[in-house]
Amino acid sequence: DDTWVYAPRHVTALSSDYHSEDGYGYNGSVHSQVWRYLGETVVLAPVGIQHGVPNFGGRNGWYPADPYQLRRAHLLEATATDPGHHYARRIFYVDAQLWMPFYTAGYNRQGECFKLVFHMFGAPAHNPWGRGHQGPINLGACAINYARTHATLLPNIEQRFNHEVTGHPFIQAALAGKEPGEAAYEERDGFGWIAIGRTARITEIIPGRLYQSGLPDEHELKEKGISVVVNLSGRSHAAPLPGALSITWPVADGELPDVEILQSLSAWLADLLRTTDKKVLVHCVASVNRSSLL
């Protein structure tokens, strides 16, 4: 429900370890930094991944676990002009072929490296959503905050490029001048992200018993006979949905205790489905699709 961004005149609280300026390596103002070129180097990097979704492993399961490649990189240093910036200084490892940073080392005002951000890139020949696409294929990121002993993992589940996509419902809706949410979105296998526009489809997880949605509609609840709605509400309270028992299950974005909470929720759902004939909807009301963790 909450989106936190870096604004110099406001509190720079963040809901995860991934800063708003970390997007695709650097997503901030060029003029807010003093830039310096540090030269070239060769490093191992998570580039050339041969499947669509990256794997994580290593200590605490935080690190890219697919085979690394030796990559030639340009080193750029960015020093913040604002003394209150989240990063006092950053060093970017920019791939010499892709021109995208795959590593960003963040330093505090004491000169300590407190955060490392990885960006992972796929091999064009193995991209399942656009084979042969010649360009960077960002498969996701992970931001490891060593000061907090905490990390945020951001795998990209799907990427589509403008190659032979005119038949996709999203594109057809856009070409017809409709809202993207009016398109007939494709269902995905298992717990997947539900595209949200003005509407969002309810998808079946266990046929006829367990459903999920990002934006459930009262009429759909009645049509499917759903009598229990579980709101994964984060820090916000979700209003009860008419005609259904509404249960709020608090889950806080990006915090390790979430795993235990979600495990207890899964056990409760399994017991409810075994012992009753009720139909249940898991309603994700926050910006992170927590229902996918079930």
Which residues lie below 8 Å from residue 223, measured CB to CB, with a gap of 6+?
A: none
Helix (H, G, I), strand (E, B) or coil at 40: strand
pLDDT of residue 20: 78
pLDDT in tens, the chain (294 residues): 455 555 554 444 445 787 878 888 888 888 899 999 999 999 999 998 888 788 888 888 889 998 899 999 999 999 999 888 889 999 999 999 888 999 999 999 999 999 999 999 988 777 777 666 777 888 888 999 998 888 888 888 777 666 566 666 666 766 776 655 444 444 433 333 333 333 456 677 788 888 877 656 667 777 888 888 777 765 444 555 566 666 666 655 444 455 666 677 777 888 888 888 888 888 765 444 445 555
Characterize 171-206 residue by residue with b for buried, 16 or more Cβ atoms within 10 angstroms of its Cβ, and e for exposed: eebeeeeeeebebebeeeeebbebbeeebbbbbebe
Phi and psi at residue 53, to the nearest 5°: -120, 130
- H/E stretch holding 260: helix 257-275
CB 249 within 8 A of CB 227: no
Secondary element (H or E) of residue 278 = none
45, amino acid identity: A
Three-state helix/strand/coil letters over 219-244: HHHHHHCCCEEEEECCCCCCCCCCCC
Structure tokens at 176: 């017809």
In which residue ranges of the chain is CATH 3.90.190.10 found?
A: 178-293
Q: Which residues pair with 232 in a beta bridge?
A: 249, 284
Cβ 155 vs Cβ 143: under 8 Å: no
Output the CA angle 115-250-220, nearest 5 degrees: 115
Task: Give the long-range contacts of residues 260-267, CB within 8 A, separation 24 or more.
Answer: 262/290, 262/293, 262/294, 265/230, 265/294, 266/294
The burial class, CB within 10 Å (0-12 / 13-18 / 19+), for 120 is buried
6's tokens: 């870096």
Tokens of 7: 């604004």
Q: How many whole angstroms from its chain centre is CA 10?
A: 24
Q: Tell me, what's the pLDDT at 14? A: 47
User: Contact at 8 Å (CB) between 226 and 280?
Assistant: yes
Question: Coil, strand or helix: which one is 155?
Answer: strand
Domain 178-293: CATH superfamily, name plus number: Protein tyrosine phosphatase superfamily (3.90.190.10)
Strand partners, 93: 75, 103
